[in-house]
Structure 1
Amino acid sequence: YEPDQLDALVKGEPVGENDPTMRGGRTGSRAAVVQALYESDASGHPAVAAVVRLATERRLGGHDIEFATRLVKVCEEQRSELDSRIAKVASQFPAEQMALVDRNVLRVALAELEMSDAAPQKVVANEAVELARLFGSESSPKFVNGVLGALLG
């Protein structure tokens, strides 16, 4: 992405017709949740309101908005438990020092696996790596893959 496109992504705005964050289904839902959690961390505003807004802007269907809302609630309600699980395998990167994107991608993946209608573990892990590639730094996909690999075996 170019700098102006990154600014648009941070603001939750589309960056073009091929914008990967505009995909529907669970992929779009997960992207909206990662962005909502990032926005909440940065602004202090509730992530639930942000995820509904982002999912609606992306024209996600009702089931996908409902999935995104449930997923963000699990992330918020189980934040300390999720962070503890992450810290066990990423001890050199305490949650408060970890990059916001990486931390939130990991939270989303682990939270989804807690849900009764979760996708298979491998799918969730692959989606997390793709979200890290999309929103994170150059090293984010490798970091997320390593942490999830250690956690999920």
Structure 2
Amino acid sequence: NWARRFAMQALYQWQLTKQDIGLINAQFLTEEDIGKADLAYFQELLQQTPLRLDVINKALDPYLDRPIVQIDPVERAILWLAGYELLFRIDVPYRVVINEAVELAKTFGAEQGHRFINGVLDKAAHTIRQDEVPPQQR
């Protein structure tokens, strides 16, 4: 999903540069490839995720093996996006959220980053999306 991909890249840039989200959004809107993305969803992810980091971090923290600040910035951006979707976009099935996050990690993350992402999100989904995860998978 191009919206997730661009949002992850923008959140990565935000972490490294501390630029205003609005400026980063404007920069991404001038990229020629942005037309591939669902712009409304890209903007929602980019603008809403940073506003809800306290809630997202609190939801993910029990499933992390280290503080979120010690996680690679690419993987942290992926976790934040997926955390946002698990918590606030219940219209997106949890399996889709996890699969998209794993694919981003395979493309942009460290060598075994996708396994870490999958493990954290799978455990988090069992709590966050209790009504959606079948009992035999809990």
Q: Do both share a fold (TM > 0.5)?
A: yes
From 12, 15, 21, the equivalent of 1:38 is: 12
Taking structure 1 as reference, are residues 41 and 73 closer, same or farther at Cα in structure 2, changes over 3 Å only? same
Alignment match, 2:108:
135
Alignment match, 2:34:
59
One-letter code of the match for 2:96? V
Cα distance, 1:119 vs structure 2: 2.2
Query: C-alpha root-mean-square deviation of aligned residues, in Å?
Result: 1.9
TM-score, length basis structure 2:
0.81
Matched positions, count: 125
Q: Distance in 2 between matches of 1:98 and 1:148?
A: 14
Give the helix-richer structure, 1 or 2: 2
Q: String of CA shifts for 1:98-118, please: whole Å, max 9, x gaps.
A: 111111101101112334474
Q: Which moved more, 1:74-83 or 1:47-56?
A: 47-56
TM-score, length basis structure 1:
0.74
1:98-137 matches, within 5 Å, as 98-116=71-89, 118-137=91-110
Q: Distance in 1 between matches of 2:22 and 2:105?
A: 21
- Percent of matched pairs sharing the same residue: 28
One-letter code of the match for 1:143? F
Q: Is 2:86–2:125's contact at 8 Å kept on the other side of the alignment?
A: no
Taking structure 1 as reference, are residues 115 and 75 closer, same or farther at Cα in structure 2, changes over 3 Å only? same
One-letter code of the match for 1:66? A
Taking structure 1 as reference, are residues 116 and 129 closer, same or farther at Cα in structure 2, changes over 3 Å only? closer
More RCO (CA 8 Å, sep 6+): 2
Q: Distance in 2 between matches of 1:48 and 1:119?
A: 25
Q: Are 1:70 and 2:44 matched, yes or no?
A: yes
Alignment match, 1:144:
117
Alignment match, 2:57:
83
Unmatched tracts of structure 2, length 5 or more: 127-138
Cα distance, 1:51 vs structure 2: 3.7
Unmatched tracts of structure 1, length 5 or more: 1-26
